[in-house]
Amino acid sequence: MKFSVAIAEEALPAEPVLFRGDLIESMGKAEGMGYDAAEIHTRDAALLDLDALTGRGEKTSFTVSALATGLAKRVDGLTFISDDEAVREEAVARVKKFIEAAERLKTGVIVGSLRGIIPNPAERDVYDRRFRDCLEQLLPEAQNRGVDIHLEMINRYENNYLNTAREGLEYIKPLASGNLKLHLDTYHMNIEEADMTEAIRACGDRLGYFHVAENTRRYVGSGAIDFAKVFSALKDIGYRGYVSLECLALPDPDTAARKSIDFMRSIDRP
């Protein structure tokens, strides 16, 4: 398996991002610990030094596993279902910049909380249409640039729709795009799925990205999730994407990162 860890130059205090500060330095630290890639969180891809990131990629096998867009919502308030059309337009424009950057970095783009929370569930159809309209604007760009969009399933306490793998599969089916994949996360799945392994197997080749954290959202190996079974299910479906650590920096970033990679490598056996 290929293992990644979440990093950011700047992130909100409660963000499940382990390494913060200079991205190149964080990538070097992650590589030194045994990770294969870094997942970069930023509110705007225009803030990334793509020359530096691509230059580093030319010197090592360490890669960028994905660009995460959630800070565009949590910092700048952008969502695809906002009642303000200008906000929706800016959200689409922002993600197009992420797609352009992802093309250069040869990686994918995560869309999770950026989809927004439905304020009135009785009007879900209205918000579904807005979200679908935004995706339909983005998918041709993603296809033209050879970039996958990873739509993350998030638990009900953080987002009030598209919570399970089955819901996600039904949602993306009509869009019929090979560049739109599902993104699962063990922390969210622990809340929403009756059986994580069944959810993984149901996704099959539509699974494009995978986050790991314990049921407590702490480092892998510190909680109750049976990761041996999770990894076995990923192998059963022939998953070739990244397994990316997105957990709380507890007890501290280095400890969480080291204990996670050591534990994951110990159970990732042929």
How far out from the chain centre does Cα 1 lie? 17
Active-site residues, by number, are 152, 246
Q: What is the mean pLDDT of the chain?
A: 96
Q: Residue 245: pLDDT above 80?
A: yes
CA atoms of 246 and 17, how far apart (whole Å) = 6
Note the pLDDT of residue 238.
Answer: 97
Q: What is the mean pLDDT of residues 259-269?
A: 94
Q: What is the pLDDT of residues 125-155, one digit of tens each?
A: 999 999 999 999 999 999 999 999 999 999 9
pTM greater than 0.95:
yes
Crossing angle between the packed helical segments 50-59 and 23-33, to the nearest 10 degrees = 30
CB 199 within 8 A of CB 239: no
For the residues 255-262, what does the mean pLDDT come to?
Answer: 98
Which pLDDT score is estimated for 189? 98
| Per-residue pLDDT reduced to its tens digit, 88-133 | 999 999 999 999 999 999 999 999 999 999 999 999 999 999 999 9
Cβ-contact 106, 148 below 8 angstroms: no
Q: How far is the C-alpha of 214 from the C-alpha of 223, rounded, in Å?
A: 5
Cβ pair 123, 166 in contact under 8 A: no
Distances (CA, A) of 78 to 45, 69, 170, 237: 14, 10, 25, 34
Strands (E), the chain: 2-8, 19-20, 37-41, 63-68, 108-111, 149-152, 180-185, 207-212, 242-245
Q: What is the pLDDT of residue 270?
A: 60
Domains present along the chain, CATH in parentheses: 2-267 (3.20.20.150)
Confidence (pLDDT) at 58: 86
Place of tokens 């398996």: 1
Q: What is the pLDDT of residues 57-82, one digit of tens each?
A: 888 999 999 999 999 999 999 999 99
